[in-house]
């Protein structure tokens, strides 16, 4: 049997033969493909590893997938009719105790130029240099507000943390914005959390931080296993399909004391986006930038993301929209997808000739620990209701960037995934190995999660998609994610 197989966890999608998707959570459910502005793509939650920020947790929620840098003239604003939220559960009961809400406003300056004696509105997003001051020649701009809710996200106590925060314009190109990194960094702003300290906030376009090999994956995992007995380069074959894509990032740095409760050091987190129940299209839109439709009614959740890859590789296709609309407290309805997962069985079928065997321990208590409760002695709360959340033990110090292991906990780095998630954690490779039984092969961990090495015949194999994800690829200061790909110049025109 080969020591290393190249594949991808999202082979689960191939069983349907009828749905095209992306990952970590890009276009992962049928309904969300219709509303890309509220499609949550990735969620990160980790102890801040920027120098001097040891007492902070960084929360990063990415939205609006598959952005091309050249996507003008309108580029990629967020939806002013949507509610974007990051939720924190700090007592293990699968209900939000703290929610950070973001609302956006798009402003039209209506720039005009003289043509034949008349001032005529321009069709472009900018007509000169874009700067972070009043001289900016951009036609549209975005601002946002941040609200903190304690208790239920709809009925709890609300505190406005700030309004009028500015969002940088997308990376049009170096003629419009010669130094985009410096320009974007000027939009990192301080934010105060009443009663527990202050932190930072940033919202803006970033290079997509997820790495995955999509094309061959969706073609029935059409990736060759290494020809040699062991190929140490198989994990780094440069197969990241998202290498040239951008996303929009919502990032918060929050003092640990603002997030934890009592003696419990473990917090759970997830993101959502909601739209109004009703939408009325205007058959005769006016010059107001928001006049094309009218939204009303109660908020309706349309996107949800905690642990990466869950809605892609765990939840059955028929329930993907239901999962996006659900709350963690109701996750018992999806339990069978975790305790009796289909992905290992599909990988066994697809790689039968290579001798791949699915784990045999049912119910899969190892996956329950990884996805639904947290791993005992690592990031499992003292009292926990099984639910899909990303869980972080805030008592575990952050690992400096130079000492982070891309495989997180299974690579010996307890400050990494699935104890939270950092940008450089290769969650595809980790999830692949865990779903094929890796936890059952680790002494001490296996007994804690209720399985043994013999339950996982290939639990020691180095499954990978060949799309390298590493801490070295990211920054070590807030907001950590990289400068977005510019829309110009085209390499062929340099």
Q: Which of 255, 285, 306 is the last residue of a domain?
A: 306
Q: Tokens in use for 255?
A: 């003092």
Residue 309, pLDDT score: 86
Q: Please state, in angstroms and rounded to a whole number, the distance separating the CA atoms of residues 483 and 441.
A: 39
pLDDT at 5 over 90: no
Alpha carbons 211 and 201: distance in angstroms, whole number: 25
Residue that has been written with the tokens 């205007």 in this structure: 282
Judged by DSSP in three states, 420 sits in coil
Convert 289-301 into a string of H (helix), E (strand) and C (coil).
Answer: CCCCEEEEEEEEE
Question: What pLDDT is attached to residue 289?
Answer: 81
**Do 354 and 285 share a structural domain?**
no
- Is the CB of residue 373 less than 8 Å from the CB of residue 383? no
Instruction: pLDDT band for 224, please (50, 70, 90 cuts).
Output: low
In a domain, 9, yes or no: no
Provide mean pLDDT across the span 126-139. 95
Looking at the structure, do residues 354 and 380 belong to the same domain, yes or no?
yes
- Say if residue 285 is in the same domain as residue 355: no
| Cβ-based neighbours of 353, under 8 Å, separated by 6 or more | none
Out of 261, 290, 306, pick the residue that ends a domain: 306
Q: Which helix (H) or strand (E) holds 428?
A: helix 427-435
Banded model confidence at residue 463, pLDDT cuts 50, 70, 90: confident
Length of the chain equals: 494
Q: Is residue 5 part of a domain?
A: no
Q: What is the DSSP letter of 487?
A: S
Note whether 266 and 363 are same-domain residues. no
What's the rounded Cα separation, in Å, for the pair 45 and 392?
7
Confidence (pLDDT) at 143: 98
Query: What is the number of H-type helices and E-type strands within the chain?
Result: 10, 14
What phi, psi does 43 have (nearest 5°)?
-130, 130
Same domain for 408 and 462, yes or no, is: yes
pLDDT of residue 353: 81
Nearest to 39 by CA among 323, 289, 247: 247
DSSP state, residue 56: E
Residue 181 shares a structural domain with residue 40: yes
Average pLDDT over residues 259-274: 98
Q: Please report whether residue 87 resides in a domain.
A: yes
Q: Is residue 128 assigned to a domain?
A: yes
Confidence of residue 214 (pLDDT cuts 50, 70, 90): confident
The answer to whether residues 429 and 361 belong to one domain is yes
Mean pLDDT along residues 46-58: 97
pLDDT-based confidence at residue 2 (cuts at 50, 70, 90): very low
Residues of the domain holding 265: 23-208+246-306
In degrees to the nearest 10, what's the CA dihedral of 227, 228, 231, 237? -20
Q: Determine what percent of the chain is predicted with pLDDT higher than 90.
A: 76
CA angle centred on 411, ends 410 and 415, rounded to 5°: 85
Whether residues 287 and 315 share a domain: the answer is no
How many domains is the chain partitioned into structurally? 2
Per-residue pLDDT band for 20 (boundaries 50, 70, 90) equals very low
Residues 261 and 373 occupy one common structural domain: no
Q: Is residue 13 included in any domain, yes or no? A: no
**Predicted TM-score (pTM) of this structure:** 0.92
Query: Is the bond into 179 cis (omega within 30 degrees of 0)?
Result: no
Q: Which of 306, 326, 341 is the last residue of a domain?
A: 306
Within-domain flag for 374: yes
94 with 227, same domain: the answer is no
Is 479 inside any structural domain? no
User: Does any domain span residue 287?
Assistant: yes
Statement to judge: residues 269 and 349 lie in one domain: no
**Higher local confidence (pLDDT), 234 or 139:** 139
For range 12-17, the mean pLDDT:
30
Please name the residues in contact with 420: beta carbons below 8 A apart, sequence gap of 6 or more: 44, 45, 46, 47, 379, 390, 391, 392, 393
**pLDDT band of 4, cuts 50, 70, 90:** very low
How many CA within 13 A on the CB side of residue 457?
A: 13
As a whole number of angstroms, the distance between CA 427 and CA 46 comes to: 14
Q: How confident is the model at residue 492 (pLDDT cuts 50, 70, 90)?
A: low
Interacting residues of 28 by C-beta distance below 8 A, sequence separation 6+? 21, 22, 311, 312, 320
The answer to whether residues 334 and 413 belong to one domain is yes
pLDDT at 12 over 90: no
Mean pLDDT score of the chain, rounded to an integer?
A: 89
Does residue 363 have a cis peptide bond before it, meaning omega lies within 30 degrees of 0? yes
């Amino acid at each position: 049997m080969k020591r290393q197989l190249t594949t991808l966890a999202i082979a689960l999608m191939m069983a349907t033969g009828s749905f095209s998707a992306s990952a970590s959570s890009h276009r992962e459910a049928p309904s969300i493909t219709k509303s890309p502005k509220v499609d949550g793509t990735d969620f990160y939650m980790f102890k801040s590893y920027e120098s001097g920020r040891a007492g902070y947790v960084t929360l990063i929620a990415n939205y609006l997938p598959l952005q091309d840098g050249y996507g003008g003239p309108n580029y990629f604003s967020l939806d002013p009719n949507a509610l974007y939220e990051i939720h924190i559960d700090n007592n293990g009961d699968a209900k939000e105790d703290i929610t950070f809400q973001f609302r956006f406003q798009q402003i039209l300056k209506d720039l005009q130029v003289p043509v034949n004696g008349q001032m005529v509105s321009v069709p472009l997003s900018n007509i000169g240099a874009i700067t972070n001051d009043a001289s900016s020649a951009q036609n549209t701009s975005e601002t946002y507000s941040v609200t903190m809710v304690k208790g239920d996200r709809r009925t709890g106590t609300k505190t406005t943390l700030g309004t009028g925060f500015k969002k940088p314009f997308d990376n049009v190109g170096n003629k419009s914005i010669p130094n985009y990194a410096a320009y974007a960094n000027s939009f990192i702003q301080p934010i105060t959390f009443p009663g527990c300290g202050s932190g930072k906030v940033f919202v803006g376009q970033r290079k997509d931080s997820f790495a995955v090999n999509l094309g061959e994956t969706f073609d029935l995992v059409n990736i060759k296993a290494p020809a040699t007995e062991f190929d140490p380069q198989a994990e780094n074959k440069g197969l990241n399909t998202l290498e040239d894509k951008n996303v929009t990032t919502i990032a918060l740095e929050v003092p640990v004391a603002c997030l934890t409760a009592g003696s419990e050091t473990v917090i759970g987190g997830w993101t959502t986006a909601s739209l109004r129940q009703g939408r009325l299209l205007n058959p005769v839109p006016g010059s107001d930038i928001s006049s094309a439709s009218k939204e009303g009614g109660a908020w309706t959740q349309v996107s949800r993301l905690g642990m990466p890859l869950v809605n892609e590789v765990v939840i059955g296709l028929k329930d993907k929209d239901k999962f996006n609309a659900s709350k963690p407290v109701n996750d018992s309805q999806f339990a069978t997808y975790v305790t009796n997962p289909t992905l290992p069985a599909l990988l066994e079928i697809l790689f039968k000739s290579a001798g791949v065997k699915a784990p045999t321990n049912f119910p899969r208590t190892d996956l329950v620990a990884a996805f639904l409760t947290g791993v005992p002695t690592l990031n499992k709360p003292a009292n926990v209701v099984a639910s899909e959340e990303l869980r972080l033990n805030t008592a575990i110090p952050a690992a400096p960037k130079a000492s982070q292991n891309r495989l997180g906990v299974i690579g010996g780095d307890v400050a990494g995934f699935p104890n939270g998630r950092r940008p450089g954690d290769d969650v595809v490779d980790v999830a692949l190995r865990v779903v094929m039984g890796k936890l059952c092969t680790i002494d001490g961990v296996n007994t804690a999660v209720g399985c043994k090495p013999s339950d996982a015949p290939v639990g020691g194999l180095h499954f990978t998609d060949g799309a390298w994800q590493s801490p070295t690829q990211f920054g070590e200061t807030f907001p950590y994610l990289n400068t977005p790909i510019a829309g110009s110049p085209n390499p062929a025109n340099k």
